[in-house]
Structures are given as structure tokens and as C-alpha cells.
Structure 1
Amino acid sequence: MSQQTLKSLILVSLVLLPTLVAGDCTCEQSGESSSRNNKVVLRYKVAALVIILVSSAIGVCLPILGKRIPALSPESNLFFLVKFFAAGVILSTGFIHVLPDAFESLTSPCLKENPWGKFPFTGLAAMVGSLGTLMIDAFATGHYRKIHSGENAATVDEENQGDRDGHVHLHTHATHGHAHGAIPVSVFPDEGLSELDRIRYKVTSQVLEMGIVVHSVIIGISLGTSQSIDTIKPLMAALCFHQFFEGMGLGGCIAQASFKSASTLCMAIFFSVTTPVGIAIGIGITNVYNENSPTALIVQGLLDAIAAGILIYMALVDLLAQDFMNPKVQSNKRLFLGANIALLLGAGFMALLAIWA
């Protein structure tokens, strides 16, 4: 064999070796290192559970407490900037963190070629998540509007009993007086939001929480089942950042929707405990969970893809489009510029975290 032929074979081997290694799938549960200290790993997981719980609770509660903190009032410029930053975090989470994980799971060589290798199920599931969110959004908005229209019609009839001219008297925050008109338009004096705005925020907060819950449980289980401290540390830091600002975005919608105190408390608690519950589940199933099994890959991949579709739709349509069209943002050039910068920073920082987690 000539030296040139030998060099060619070595070169071909070096080119093909990474491909062969990448294509080799060990669909067995990874073995544990005998030197690994399971107690230390468990301490890190418990610490992550507590820290993430606290971060989530602080993030979702700050906007809700905005009525008592003037700087965080739903009508303040700072509140808008924080919401844009949080929307950037949510958008980046869907595109950079959740969707690629779904692609990785559903294109794994551990799955059968037929049907998983012959059709882009990840894109299909993400599309279903987005379209499903749109339909739920539209249905819930219509449902709320019918309920509130019925309530307002009854109120208007009562007010018209003593008004011979048939005019409706409305007390508005802007005029601090009465306005006359034939169409009942309810304006909430505490924040200057119209009834339709309030309905939109109610629907947005509930659907957004649904999308957040799906991927939060999955990522919590991933952290809980991990047996590598080198994996847990960056994932814990990324999740704290992610949960805090995702909570800020959700909390902002809850605050503007003005739910009753009990509903507000339930939504805040539900968001705060979702990822910690996922971590606890992961800790409990560490010894029996195999993340490379076909069932785990399919379930996790489909749920991730659906969650990504929900988060991307909510961030673009219900958070960013709605707030960018707000007259307060449109009429204030500095606030509009700040909103764009906050959005880019939120999306950029969350994308950067993909390097470590």
C-alpha cells in the first residue's frame, strides 16, 4: 500500500469517525460513576428546588404588588420596559431552548425511522400548539365578552330607569366627570383600561400560564434526574434567570387583568411551584427514568414542541404586539425606543444562556 493511499484512508477515517460516533445510539440508561457522590448531587438538587421556587415567587409577585409599589404600577414606564424584557425572555425560551430540545428528542436515532424519521413531527406539534392557542384565545375572549356584555347590559338598564333622555352616564378616569353615549363602554378607573383590554389580559395570563407549566415541568424533571453536578450548576442559574423574568411577564398580565385576590394568589402559587414540583418528580424517579427510551423521547419531544408553539405565539401576539400597539408606547418615542432595547436585551440574554444550559 502506497503512502499516498494510506494518507487518504487516514483522512477518510478522520472525516467519517465523528459521523459514526454521532450516529451511534446507546439507548440504555447511562451508567453511574463509582466516584460520584450521590449525596452531594442530591444537596444541589434540593438547593436548586428552593432557589428556583424563591426566584419564581419573587418574579411573579413583583408586578402583582405593583399597586403598592408606584415604580411597578401597570401604568409606569418601568413596568412596560420590564414586560418587554420578560417577553423577550419568553420568546427566546421558545425559539432557542424549548424548540431545539424538541427537535433533538424527535430526531433521535433511538426512535424508529418509520414514522419519526420520515416526517417533521416537531414542526407539526409546534404548529398545533400555536394554532390551538389561537383558537383557545379567540374562544375565551368571546366567552368573556359575552359574560361581561350581559352584566353591563343589566347595569345600564338600571341606570336608565331614571334617565328620560336614555343617556348612559359613565365615570371615567380621564375626565373625572360624566360622558353621555348610547353604547355602554366600561372604563376601569384604577388603571384606565377598557373592558376589552381587561378581558384580553385575563385570557393572555391564563393561556400563557398553561404554556409555561408544560415546559417548566419537563425542564424540572430534567434537572431532577440529572446526576452530574456540572450539568446541574449552569442549569440552576439559567432556570433562576428564566423563571424570574418569565414570572415578571406572567405577573404583569395577571396584574393588568385584575383577577379577584383568590384567583391571583392561585395563579401565582401555581406558577411558582411548577418547576420545583418537576424537580421533585425528577429526584423521585432518578433510578428508573431513562431519558433515552423511545417513550420518554416521544413524550418529551412532543410536549416541548407544543410548549414552544404556545410560548412563541403568546410572546409575539399577546404580549409584544399588544403592548407595542398601546397608545402610551406609540405616543412616547423614548418609551418606544426603550421597549425595543428591552426586548432585544431579554431575548439576547436568554439566548446567551443556551451556551451553558
Structure 2
Amino acid sequence: MRPNVSPAAVERDGKEHSVKDSSTPPKMLSRLKETSLNSRLHDAVGYRSILGNTNTQASFLKASSSHHYSRDHSDEAAAHGHQHLSVAPPPDMGSITRVISAVCMEFGVTLHSVFVGLTVGLTTDSELKPLIVALVFHQLFEGMAMGSRLADAKFRTILDIVLALVFATSAPAGMAAAAIAVSVSPAAMSGSGFVTLVAVLDTLCGGILLYLAFTLLLGDFVADVRHYCADGQRYRIAKKITLFVALWVGMGLMALVGNWL
């Protein structure tokens, strides 16, 4: 059963509660509100600090893992590069080889041409004509070989001109030296000491020319055969035959010229 409550009693109870609430001091209410606000702020600051620490730890772990990964990756790359460097030749070995080839060719043909000039200067008139003809072809072939070496070496233009002039004047310089020596002391140019000196220097020049022919010029010939006569090239059989014929004809002509030089 519901108790019988009169409206007057309800109104009286509401007034009593309002009187009790109004009896609370304002200072206490402000303190309670301030305490509640401070507790909420403290909870918010603590929550933010926890989030900050969590983010800091996550950032540290991420940076540490990336550092270890980059260090391992760099170590692996360094080891990989070191492995390649230990077996791979320097990238400029081709240019160094071409420069050495040009210098050796210049030294060999220039020194050889000087002694060819000495031979021409000491030759009698009856033997001079065939010797001059042989000398012209000899210098022509050596000049072509020398020019190809200089073109491959890619020197400066002024250096190419100087080396070409040195080769061009080597044989006339030998002729002039022989003519001066004969006019000053003819006996000195026919003694055993002079013959021995010429033989030693001719041997040195011959060795240099053989080295150039078998290691450099023939190496270029093999490279040309592989390039122009590879599988799939048109007329590769005809090209290969032409290259070999030109090689043997050139060797035969130089051997024939050497009969007089």
C-alpha cells in the first residue's frame, strides 16, 4: 500500500532541504569545487605524462631499432663493397694500359728509327737507293702504328704533336749524327766497339718492338676479330679472312723491309 502523503508534508520537506543546502557556507563550497578541479587537473596531467613517457619509449625503441638496422646494413654494404674491391680491377686500368702502350711504342720506334738513320748515314752510295725505299715504307708502317697508339691513349693535343715530331725527327737525327761522326773520325765508326754498341742497342729496340707486336698489336687484332666477326654479323667469314690476310701481309712486308734495315 502507498502511504498517504499530503502535499503540505512534501512542501515542508522541500523547504527543510533547501534550508539545509542554504545553510552550507560559501567558502566550503568553493574549496570543494577547487579540490575537485585540482584532482581532475592532476589526473589529466598524470595521464598526459604517462602518454608522453609511452611515446618517448616508443620513439627511443624505434630510433634504436633503425640505428641497429642501418648499422647492420652499412656493415653489410661495406663488407660487400670490400669483397668487390678485393677482386675487381680499378676502373681506369684500360686507360693506364693504353698510356703505357703509347709510351712503349714511342720509345721503341723512336730509338729504332735513330739507329735506322745511323745505318743510312753509314751506307755507301751503291746501297743507298734500296735502303731509302725500305726506310720510307718502314717509317710509314711504324708511323701508322704509332698514330693508333696515340689515338687510343687520348693525350692532350700538344703532347700528341710533340710525340709525333719526336718520331718524325728521329731518323733524320740519326742520319745527321752518322754524317757528323764520319766526317770527324771515320775510324771510330767502323771499330769493334761501335759495332758492339749498335748490336746491343738494336737488340734492345728489337725486343721492345717484339713486345709491342705480340702483346699490344696482336691483342688489338684479337679484339677486332671478336668485334667484327661475332655471331650474327653480316659477312663475318669474309671479314675474318680479310683480317687474317691483312695481318700476314703486313708481317711479310715488314720482314721484307727488314732485309735492308
Q: Is the 8 A contact 2:228 2:239 kept in 1?
A: yes
Question: Which of 114, 132, 136 lines up with 1:217 in the alignment?
Answer: 114
Q: Is the 8 A contact 1:324 1:330 kept in 2?
A: no
The one-character-per-residue Cα deviations of 1:290-344 (angstroms, maximum 9, x if unpaired) are: 4431210111010011111110111011111233134424524433322211111
CA distance in 2, matches of 1:329, 1:276: 39
The one-character-per-residue Cα deviations of 1:113-140 (angstroms, maximum 9, x if unpaired) are: xxxxxxxxxxxxxxxxxxxxxxxxxxxx
Give the aligned partner of residue 247 of structure 1. 143
The one-character-per-residue Cα deviations of 1:245-299 (angstroms, maximum 9, x if unpaired) are: 1100110111121111111111111111100111111111123144431210111
Question: Which of 191, 195, 200 lines up with 1:302 in the alignment?
Answer: 200
CA distance in 2, matches of 1:336, 1:202: 28
Question: Which of 341, 344, 348 lines up with 2:248 in the alignment?
Answer: 344
CA shift for structure 1 position 238: 0.4
Q: Is the 8 A contact 2:106 2:167 kept in 1?
A: yes
Question: Which of 181, 184, 204 lines up with 1:285 in the alignment?
Answer: 181
| TM-score in terms of structure 1 length | 0.43
1:271 aligns with 2:167: yes
Structure number having the greater helix percentage: 2
CA distance in 1, matches of 2:221, 2:95: 13
Q: 1 or 2 for the larger relative contact order (CA 8 Å, sep ≥6)?
A: 1
Give the aligned partner of residue 26 of structure 2. none
Question: Which of 328, 346, 349 lines up with 2:227 in the alignment?
Answer: 328
> Which amino acid is the alignment partner of residue 141 of structure 2?
F
CA distance in 1, matches of 2:182, 2:163: 29
Unaligned runs of 5+ in 2: 1-83, 231-235
Moved over 6 A (4+): none
| TM-score in terms of structure 2 length | 0.58
| Correspondences of 1:18-97 after superposition (within 5 Å) | none
Q: Is the 8 A contact 1:323 1:329 kept in 2?
A: no
Question: Which of 202, 205, 219 lines up with 2:102 in the alignment?
Answer: 205
Q: Is the 8 A contact 1:221 1:278 kept in 2?
A: yes
Give the aligned partner of residue 261 of structure 1. 157
Aligned partner of residue 155 in structure 2, secondary structure:
coil
| Correspondences of 1:107-122 after superposition (within 5 Å) | none
Q: Between the two proteins, what is the percent identity of the paired residues? A: 28
Q: Is the 8 A contact 2:102 2:146 kept in 1?
A: yes
Cα 1:274–1:354 change in 2 (3 A) is closer
